[in-house]
Amino acid sequence: MYKRITAAVLSAFAMGSSAMAADINVDELRSLANNLFKPIPTADVVVKEKGLTQEQIDLGRWLWFEPRLSKSHIITCNTCHSVGTGGADNIPTSVGHGWQHGPRNSPTVLNAVFNVAQFWDGRAADLAEQAKGPVQASVEMNATPQLVEETLRSIPEYVEKFAAAFPNDKNPVSFDNMAKALEAFETTLVTPNSRMDQFLAGKDTLNDQELGGLKLFIDKGCIACHSGINFGGQNYYPFGLVKRPGADVLPEGDRGRFDVTKTASDEYVFRAAPLRNIALTAPYFHSGEVWSLEEAVALMGTSQLGTELNDTEVKAITAFLHTLTGEQPTVEYPTLPASTKDTPRPSRM
């Protein structure tokens, strides 16, 4: 089946994109796609599945926009993972405390709950573990668990809100519970009903070029790494499997998952990027050095598949990737409580 479709699509493309649809059995393609991918559920479904309470989510929303989690009091989770811009900051690598910049491009928070693990190297098992990283990283928010707890405990409204979110805890205001609440809020940041999800559900929402792109995405082998509910984010692969990209895209100093596992075979291995909403979050790759999605698609062809995708193919796959943009979450900016005399003061240093 695999080969047959490949051949059919390739010949369709040789005839030009307008001929594509005629050569594609849409029902067959949809059925194949449903075996490979999975639609994103709405936030209420995920919340129920995870057993989260509204109190936890709402506390998490406060913390998400809380600048006092950073030593400077000006950096929030949303600074690098903005809910308004595809869940990321869309600059090559994030800028943090002291205008320092980290080594890797900020991954999107949208649908991150569905990733197998967090960070480009998967060093955090879940979103709660992940949340603790940037808060403490000296090039990001540059705080400490002690500073965060002291800050939150100094503000009565937070004490109350943590107690409501974690009613069975003897000591609810903790760094661990901060992370759990952030995870609860992030769990609501899902983007259902993309055109691709509607296609999976049986609607004819993709045009000829997009259908052709989907077929190519399957046939060329992109699905080897980018499948499942997030079209990626499920496993680890060497960047430059077939041909190693230049040092601008794959800096030698960043050896990826090797730094987590210390296993030689994990050198330059990264978690395959989830591709949902990818059209919203240029620049691409862990180095954030590729600004064009078409260029990124072409580079994946050469580096991972050993295939020189032609211009029509690149454009079709890119068009298909645009169908992965879902409904963006609606988030109300929280009104945060005032500091008190006991709240630690900000420091730029």
Would you please indicate which residues are annotated as catalytic (active-site) residues?
140
Q: Which is nearer to a second copy, 106 or 234 (CB)?
A: 106
**Residue 197's closest CA among 224, 223, 230, 226?**
230
Least distance from a second copy to the Cβ atom of residue 88, Å: 11
Identify which of residues 68 and 226 has a Cβ nearer to a second copy in the complex.
68
Residue 118, SS3? Answer: strand
CB of 337 to a second copy, least distance (A): 9
* CA pair distance 155, 144, nearest whole angstrom: 17
Q: Do residues 275 and 230 lie in contact, with contact meaning Cβ atoms separated by under 8 Å?
A: yes
Q: Which is nearer to a second copy, 187 or 304 (CB)?
A: 187
Q: How far apart are CA 35 and CA 296, in angstroms?
A: 25
Give min distance, CB of 80 to a second copy, in A: 8
Q: Which is nearer to a second copy, 129 or 294 (CB)?
A: 294
Compute the least distance from the CB of residue 190 to a second copy, in Å.
14
Return the structure tokens found at 231. 């079209």
Q: Which is nearer to a second copy, 101 or 153 (CB)?
A: 101
CA dihedral 250, 255, 256, 260 (to 10 degrees): -170
Closest CA to 34 of 265, 197, 239, 173: 197
CB environment 131-142: b (16+ within 10 A), e (fewer): bbebbbbebbbb
Contact 212, 5 (CB under 8 A): no
Rounded Cα distance between 70 and 147, Å, is: 9
Q: How many CB atoms lie within 10 A of CB 330?
A: 8
Q: Whose Cβ is closer to a second copy: residue 307's or residue 328's?
A: 328
- Minimal distance, residue 241 CB to a second copy, in Å: 28
**Of 136 and 328, which has the nearer Cβ to a second copy?**
328
Shortest approach of a second copy to residue 16 CB, angstroms?
24
Whole-angstrom Cα distance, residue 43 to residue 77? 20
For residues 130 and 86, the answer to whether their CB atoms sit within 8 Å is no
> Which amino acid is located at 127 in the chain?
L
The first and second tokens of residue 180, run together, are 């759990």
Binding interface with a second copy (CB under 8 A): 65, 67, 72-74, 79, 82-86, 89-92, 95, 98-99, 101, 279-280, 282, 291-292, 328, 330-336, 338-339, 341, 345-346, 348
Closest distance of CB 99 from a second copy, Å: 4
How far is residue 264's CA from residue 255's CA, in Å, rounded to a whole number?
10
